[in-house]
Amino acid sequence: MYLYRNWPAFEYQHNESMMQFVKALFARAVRRDKGKLWVAKFLKMQRSKQLALQQRMALVAIEELTRPDHCFACAGYGKEITGPRVGQSCAQCSGRGLVSWSANARAKNLRIRRQDWEPVWSHAYLALIDRLKELELTGADLHAQAMSDDG
């Protein structure tokens, strides 16, 4: 995930394998979360609709992680641009300059009704996003270790 997000050439070359990987993560979540509302609703769908939803979940999760929104408070700079904290790390985005998509944006991109988002699908999607962020952080840590002068 770290390479996919930070190197456009890697993203271009490995787009299909990343889609397969994220769809596999979703399938594992279905097996792991048996008994949860979203799994019950997913399993009641026709197989073609299941595959379409799984594809959209993977596509939107990858899109959100690789192209997050810029923080409205700091305009994407990661530093406060007005007020008494000018030049300090932005309080809204913790200095990243980026923010996650809103619930409305997520539901719209997944083509899920907004009223179904929170009680049903948000749990599956947010767990998928969290897992991908965790994998990205692991990759960043490994890259930092490899680049350190300790060796």
Q: 3-class SS at 149?
A: coil
What pLDDT score does 51 carry? 93
Q: Which two tokens stand for residue 3?
A: 């390479």
What is the percent of the chain where pLDDT is above 90?
A: 34
pLDDT tops 90 at residue 54: yes
How does residue 137 score in pLDDT terms, banded at 50, 70 and 90? confident
How does residue 149 score in pLDDT terms, banded at 50, 70 and 90? low
Q: How far apart are CA 66 and CA 64, in angstroms?
A: 6
CA neighbor of 123 nearest in space, from 30, 2, 56, 23: 30
Over residues 113-126, mean pLDDT = 90
Residues 74, 90 contacting (CB under 8 angstroms): yes
